[in-house]
Amino acid sequence: MGTANATGWEASVTCPKPRVLIVGCGGAGGNSVGRLHRLGVAGARTAIVNTDRAHLETVEADRKLLIGQTVTRGMGAGGRPEIGERCADLADDELRNLVMSQDLVFLTVGLGGGTGTGVAPHIAELASASGAVVIAVATTPFKAERGRIRTAQAGIQRLRPNCDSLIILDNNRLLDLVPNLPVERAFSVMDVLIAEVIKGVTEAINLPSLINLDFNDVRTVLSEGGTSTILYGENSIDDPDRVVSETLSNPLLDVDTKGARAALIHISSGPSLSLRTAFRVVDGITANMRSDANVIFGVRVDPRHHDIIRVIAVLTGLKAPDLDVPVEAAPNLETVNPLSLYPRLR
């Protein structure tokens, strides 16, 4: 009887983990997910959707979908979003099944081309309609790419209504931050950024912590609406003030974080992390936020970090100008400095 009761109690308190899917749309999005897949993300599955068969063969994911073969013959959308959108329409059932029953869906996409710009809004709409929390991380083109900038702006307008959170990364930042890096490594900065953000948020809600974050914490913070952004920082466990400065120091982030209505903060560090230090970091990050801001935080001991504190902070409910203007005239998009998320490339 005692054993049966114990077993019954264990069953009653065991909760299923949230189902997390990470979808790369098009070439750039597929590259980001391919990197994530190689790194491994606890508690998440990966998928890549493309109209280009050759690219799909070069990347890895749990599932790969080649769509629109009757339209593109597997040779890509040619930079035309209307073709990408048509391919998504034809693959509606496949895409619907892909996102069905997911709790959290991350989308990675490079806006301005054909497949990503055309497909990502369609997948976001299907995921949102199925009840998932949808977070999109999108990169925008270089200014020299001219017409692709307007294409990206149109993609933003289509993507935003079906995303709980839309983070935009500006490729132009690479010209200032890593102008002398080899091209392949410079572009990998964006992939690293996207990987860190998605891996950090996913593992924060799926791995055991001293102070746990759960899926509903993520949902609560993201439901605040408005502009959202993600900050990242890491530094010595002996200098929590520097950790705070590292996390908040983002000169290329033009959105004013002081007005944030909510924050989801996750701290990970080695076994020597003290509760006092953790609270000092959280207090520093939230010091200038609204007095009524909804702050939720978690702490996890990770032996891999040894004497380093790593922080990922999701800030939501920020004010930003209307996005109905061209991308090149809108510096206050939710733009993140890639190197703030990858300090070793400085």
**Per residue in 155-200, pLDDT tens?**
999 998 999 888 777 777 666 667 777 766 777 777 777 887 788 7
Q: Kindly indicate the confidence band of residue 126, based on its pLDDT and cuts at 50, 70 and 90.
A: very high
Residues 123/109, Cβ–Cβ less than 8 Å: no
Mean per-residue pLDDT for 243-255?
69
Mean pLDDT score of the chain: 82
Tell whether the model's pLDDT for residue 119 goes beyond 60.
yes
Strand, helix or coil at 182? coil
Tell whether the model's pLDDT for residue 263 goes beyond 50.
yes
Higher pLDDT, 143 or 272: 272
Residue 188 has what pLDDT? 76
Tell whether the model's pLDDT for residue 335 goes beyond 70.
no
Residue 114 has what pLDDT? 95
Look up residue 18 and give its DSSP letter: P
> What is the Cα–Cα distance from 47 to 43, expressed in whole angstroms?
14
Q: Kindly indicate the confidence band of residue 101, based on its pLDDT and cuts at 50, 70 and 90.
A: very high
Residue 312 has what pLDDT? 84
**Per residue in 79-93, pLDDT tens?**
999 999 999 999 999
In CATH, the architecture of 20-202 is 3-Layer(aba) Sandwich (3.40)
Enumerate the domain spans of the chain: 20-202, 211-345
Tell whether the model's pLDDT for residue 310 goes beyond 50.
yes
CB atoms closer than 10 angstroms to residue 45: 16
Residue 255 has what pLDDT? 63
Residue 98 has what pLDDT? 97
Which candidate, 115, 45, 109, 50, places its Cα nearest to that of 80?
A: 115
- Record the tokens describing residue 24, joined without a space: 């790369």
Fold matches, 20-202 and 211-345: yes
Higher pLDDT, 102 or 332: 102
**Percent of the chain clearing pLDDT 70 (strictly above):** 82
Higher pLDDT, 316 or 36: 36
**Percent of the chain clearing pLDDT 90 (strictly above):** 41
Q: Considering just the CA atoms, what is the radius of gyration of the chain in Å?
A: 20
Q: Please identify which residue in the block is written with the tokens 């504190």.
A: 309
Instruction: Classify 211-345 by CATH class.
Output: alpha beta
Residue 225 has what pLDDT? 66
